[in-house]
Amino acid sequence: MANRAEHVPATFIAFVVFFLSSFDAFVKFESVNADNVFSASHTSTVKVASARDLRYLLYDVNPPEGFNLRRDVYIRMASLVKTLRQNGDDWVLVLPPWGRLYHWQSPNIHQIRIPWGEFFSLTSLQANVPVIEYEEFIAENGGPFIDQVLVLQNYAEGWTDGKWEEKVDERPCIEKFMYSKDKQGYYRGWFWGYEQTRARNVTCISAQGHASIMAPVLQKNITATSVMLDRAETLLHDHYAGKDYWDTRRSMVFAKHLRLIGDNFRAKYLNSTDDRDQTIYSEDWTRQRAKLGSAKGGPYLGVHMRRKDFIWGHREDVPSLKGAVKKMRSLIKKHKLEKVFVATDADEEELKELKKLLPDMVRFEPSTEDLELLKDGGVAIIDQWICAHARFFIGTSVSTFSFRIHEEREIMGFDPKTTYNRFCGDAEKECEQPTHWKIVY
Ligand SMILES: Nc1nc2c(ncn2[C@@H]2O[C@H](COP(=O)(O)OP(=O)(O)O)[C@@H](O)[C@H]2O)c(=O)[nH]1
Ligand SMILES: [Mg+2]
């Protein structure tokens, strides 16, 4: 994998130098056990004067959550790592391998332990905050051990006095404990399919607040070198849609091979190229700053039509296929577009019906071999990339898949009128359209 080579080994070298420089560093390798995580005694750990201690933040998200909510949680964790690095140790964010996602259902393909480099440009992520792949963590750490897992949860009692306040406390676990002790006394659990991975200690923490609420806990109460936050989605954004949010979001550049496949598809089937459509994309996200309205987009309607679990609940904000197709036809006419590109997770039966209703639609349909290479995650990204380049886009109500397309278009400089649109349910009365979130540079 190319991503292996991309990682600068400087952190590793610094780590070795630091390790050899002081025997006191061993103090860092002690596991912190459950009852002293929050005690004051650990704050007296011997500090090495010069070098900042290298520490690793790992995290995971509630298993049923999909790809695009996970991308959102990454932004929260990157923000926490920035806070931690501002006044303390040399924290590095360990990227949780992709896999076992509920929506990735293509049969017979291996979709587990997927490194981030398969979907995102690691050098781009690195330009925002120090990150490493999980396998690099194992190598640097000297084995598949995580010192401390903190399982985040809400407060059993909810908001006391109906008042919301930020707080964090060690508490008994509320939900079923997903870790079990092995013969050696290590904790086993789901570590992204790495069966050899073990945790030295696991504790539950009730947390209510933004991501950086964890910073004092990780800095003062815990001395372990590697700490994993499980159920990290419990934490909120430090500042949604603020500068830091957008820096991290802009750094989440899709892997180049996926962008290229999307670009070739646009050229071949949608009469769309960057030059003509004014969708120039800088390889270096820190230099990408397009004026709103500067991007024109290809002469097609981009559609994200979320189905499956979005229709099972008979949500009133999601249209029938007929309703959606009617809307597409009117948009094609209104904006004088040549084609319609449809990204959807619809099942076979709905797809058949859709093809009947809209025989001229264009879809990205990979061969089995391509699917093996790209995986469901790669195909979803290509779908998003193509939707992001359309002259006009319409998505699905409160779908994070659609939200990520909005952001991609915002980065490229589309007129917001062409981006923040969603389908309305057939009988929906007040069909509120998505919010325009401006980039803060
Ligand atoms: N390829 C492709 N996959 C999709 C599409 N819509 C949904 N999916 C799949 O379904 C998942 C939906 O979960 P998520 O990303 O959390 O978005 P949300 O549930 O719509 O907020 C995605 O991650 C994809 O795996 C689509 O248009 N194209
Ligand atoms: Mg989801």
Which pLDDT value is given to residue 162?
78
Chain-centroid distance, C-alpha 334: 35
Average pLDDT, the chain: 89
Among candidate residues 6, 30, 65, 428, the one labeled active-site is 65
Can you tell me whether residue 363 is helix, strand or coil? coil
- pLDDT tens-digit map of 265-322: 999 999 999 999 999 899 999 999 999 999 999 999 999 999 999 999 889 999 999 9
- Please report the pLDDT score of residue 87 as a whole number: 80
Judge whether 438 and 425 are in contact, CB under 8 Å: no
pLDDT at 161: 76
Q: What's the CA gap between 364 and 264, in Å, rounded?
A: 11
DSSP state of 212: G
- Sheet strand arrangement including 339-344: 339-344, 298-305, 390-394
209: DSSP letter: S
Residue 159's pLDDT band (boundaries 50, 70, 90)? Answer: confident
DSSP 23-47: GGGGGGGSPPPGGGTT-GGGGGPPP
Q: Are 209 and 167 in contact (CB under 8 A)?
A: yes
Distance CA 407, CA 285 (A): 13
**Whole-number pLDDT of residue 75:** 98
Inform me whether the pLDDT recorded for 39 exceeds 50: no
pLDDT at position 13 is: 39
Local structure of 296: helix, strand or coil: coil
Q: How confident is the model at residue 51 (pLDDT cuts 50, 70, 90)?
A: low
Q: Is 65 a catalytic residue?
A: yes
Distances (CA, A) of 127 to 25, 68, 250, 396: 28, 21, 10, 32
Name the least confident of 41-55, 109-123, 376-390: 41-55
Task: For residues 174-191, give the mean pLDDT.
Answer: 96
Instruction: Retrieve residue 273's tokens.
Output: 């190229």
Can you tell me the distance from the alpha carbon of 151 to that of 68, in angstroms, rounded to the nearest whole number?
22
140-151: pLDDT as tens digits: 999 999 999 999
Residue range 344-355: mean pLDDT, rounded: 97
* Separation of CA 364 and ligand 1 centre (Å): 14
CA 335 to the chain's CA centroid: 33
Pairwise pLDDT comparison (12 vs 313), residue with the higher score: 313
The residues, any chain, with a CB within 8 Å of residue 432's CB and separated by 6 or more, are: none
Region 249-266 average pLDDT? 98
DSSP 414: B
pTM for this predicted structure: 0.88
Judged against a pLDDT cut of 70, whether residue 17 lies above it is answered with no
Is the Cβ–Cβ distance between 200 and 186 less than 8 Å? yes
Cβ atoms of residues 276 and 293 within 8 Å: no
d(CA 58, CA 232): 10
Calpha distance 122→6 (Å, rounded)? 7
Residues with C-beta less than 6 Å from any ligand 1 atom: 66-69, 103-104, 304, 306, 343-345, 376, 379-380, 383, 399-401
pLDDT tier at 164 (50, 70, 90 boundaries)?
confident
Give the pLDDT of residue 323.
98
Residue nearest to atom 23 of ligand 1 (CA): 67
Which residue would you say has higher pLDDT here, 214 or 9? 214
* Predicted confidence (pLDDT) at residue 4 exceeds the cutoff of 50: no
Distance 169 CA to ligand 1 centre (A): 34
The count of residues in the chain is 441
CB 340 within 8 A of CB 360: yes
For residue 363, give the nearest of 305, 319, 407 by alpha carbon.
Answer: 305
Q: Using the atom order of ligand 1, give the atom closest to the CA of residue 402.
A: 20
User: How far apart, in Å, are the Cα atoms of 432 and each of 36, 68, 119, 398?
Assistant: 50, 22, 32, 11
Expressed in angstroms and rounded, the spacing between residue 261 Cα and the centre of ligand 2 is: 25
pLDDT for 106 equals 84
For residue 428, which amino acid is it? E
Please name the amino acid found at residue 229. Answer: L
CB contact at 8 A, 374 and 366: yes
- pLDDT surpasses 50 at 21: no
Average pLDDT rounded to a whole number, residues 238-267: 98
Tell the residue nearest (CA) to atom 3 of ligand 1.
380
d(CA 394, CA 406) in angstroms, rounded, equals 9
Span 89-95, average pLDDT = 96
Between 414 and 33, name the one with better pLDDT. 414
